[in-house]
Amino acid sequence: MTRSSPVSQRLQSSLSPEIQELISIPRLQRELVPGFPYMLRASTAHLLMLDACGLIDRASVREIGRALLRMEREGADAIVPNALLEDAYFNFEARLMELAGADHGGLLHVARSRNDLGATMERMRARDVLLDALDHGAQLLAALAEKGHAHADTLMTGYTHLQPAQPITFGYYLVGVGNAVRRDLDRLQQTWDRLNLCPLGAGALAGTGFRIDRHLSARLLGFDGLLTNGLDAVSSRDFAAEILAALLGASTVLSRMATDLYVYATLEFGLVDFPDSVAGTSSIMPQKKNLAFLEHMRAKPAHLLAGLTSITMAVKGTHFSNTMDGNRESMRLAWEAMNEGVIALRLGRLAASNAQPNAATMAASAAANFSCVTDLADLLVQRNGLSFREAHHVVGAVVFDALKRRIPASAIDRAMVADAMRRVAGKDLALSESDIRDSLDPRQSVERRDLPGGPAPGQVHAMAEMLADDARRHADWVSAKRDTLALAADDMEERLAALTK
């Protein structure tokens, strides 16, 4: 005799061993434990709404409520996964009916579907990820701001194409990274308004004929409003793509910072060091101090891009409705990728907080590596009447001469510049020895750039303070949202307690 499905009499055969092995068991392993607290809370809100609308009797409400409270105490581990029940929901419901009785427990599914329940759970879970990411993002901005203040006058070379470009400060560099990350955190925060909308009550796709109160369900779960179209509510996972895109942007910036610090920390550069507590070593080479955490940090955008690509490609060919590829397969990599984004932010804070600039080496390098010669060209324009292009040619000739003679920029003297002026521009030099020396001083170069966006210490302090303000703004926003969610949870808990006395 053929054994029918334990979840539907429409199906006269239970799931094949292959379907269990390839789909049901992996899904249960991925979804049951992480999704349990969200399923529990969404189920509690649905129960309270059903009671408020008089859609199930009070005795059943009481038994279901007591069962939900017991399930909360026991946790997900009390549910013995059964692959024959297809998925996490049917396993959850089986345990509920075991505790409340089939007559009572089965009533909880009045006026809802796995479709709207699943969409609600995923928005709740994504909401927590977003708040966690912004919390760690705020800590990252605070660390960059603090280090920016501390090293606003720590001279270093700014590089383009990994070649010495112009003098900056280490604080200026870190605040620049912070400014770029801040925009992605703003994008992440802006996702909230589209994320924190409640799908519960959308049913399978067309709502329900029961006279439910969707607004009550939404309030109990801390949502700001409703997804107004039931079909859209169960079909769309664009909120996950938005979160992934913002985290991809932030992790990409941090990967670039990791690449810089990775190079600066080499023996050849010797500009930055890190404490041994964040380093590893070699199994064979005793001299090694490997900054492997920066390598992990650089890799994080790959995981986020994989998650974003996966969700986009899984959805693109699906019908605009609830589907396994559009709603389940699309989210498989998304959760792991979001977690990698949070890790990237945490590693970024670790890198910023622990980077120790070698100030003397940085300053000596900036004085020697010709990063100041643009200032010499500017001075020739200001004081010697050359066009900038003429000045560029003259100074280029000076640098070529210095490199040929193997002398550092700090050894360039007036005679070298005067000779280049006559050969290249056919003019006499109107600058003194001290003029040449001052123009090639990296500290004076930085201090001359005392304008908005420039690396002068005062400007860096101002930018660092703005970054610190943004860190506080994000932290306060996260705290306020968590308080709102906590109040909604407390309200729901009190209502359930009153019903289950």
Catalytic positions, written as ranges: 161, 282
d(CA 285, CA 270): 20
d(CA 204, CA 234): 7
Q: Can you read off the two tokens belonging to residue 14? A: 């239970």
Residue type, 486: A
Residue in the structure block whose two tokens are 């994320």? 195
Q: What is the DSSP string of 97-115?
A: HHHH-HHHHGGGGTT--HH
DSSP character for 12? -
Which residues are CB-neighbours of 132 under 8 A, at least 6 positions away?
Answer: 342
State whether residue 197 is helix, strand or coil: strand
Q: What is the DSSP string of 189-243?
A: HHTHHHHSEE-TT-TTTT--SS---HHHHHHHTT-SEE-S-HHHHHH--HHHHHH
State whether residue 225 is helix, strand or coil: strand
d(CA 60, CA 106): 10
Residue 169, beta-bridge partner list: 155
d(CA 121, CA 35): 7
d(CA 55, CA 161): 68
Which residues are CB-neighbours of 287 under 8 A, at least 6 positions away?
Answer: none
The answer to whether the CB of 5 falls within 8 A of the CB of 15 is: yes
DSSP character for 83? G
Which residues are CB-neighbours of 89 under 8 A, at least 6 positions away?
Answer: 39, 114, 117, 118
Nearest-10 Cα torsion for 402, 406, 407, 412: -10
The answer to whether the CB of 195 falls within 8 A of the CB of 239 is: yes
**Closest of 425, 453, 147, 423 to residue 272, by C-alpha:** 147
Count, in order, helices (H) and strands (E) of the chain. Answer: 20, 6
Distances from the Cα of 108 to the Cα of 6, 19, 45, 57, 215, angstroms: 18, 28, 11, 11, 18
Residue 166, beta-bridge partner list: 158
Burial (CB < 10 A; 0-12, 13-18, 19+), residue 100, is buried
DSSP character for 79? S
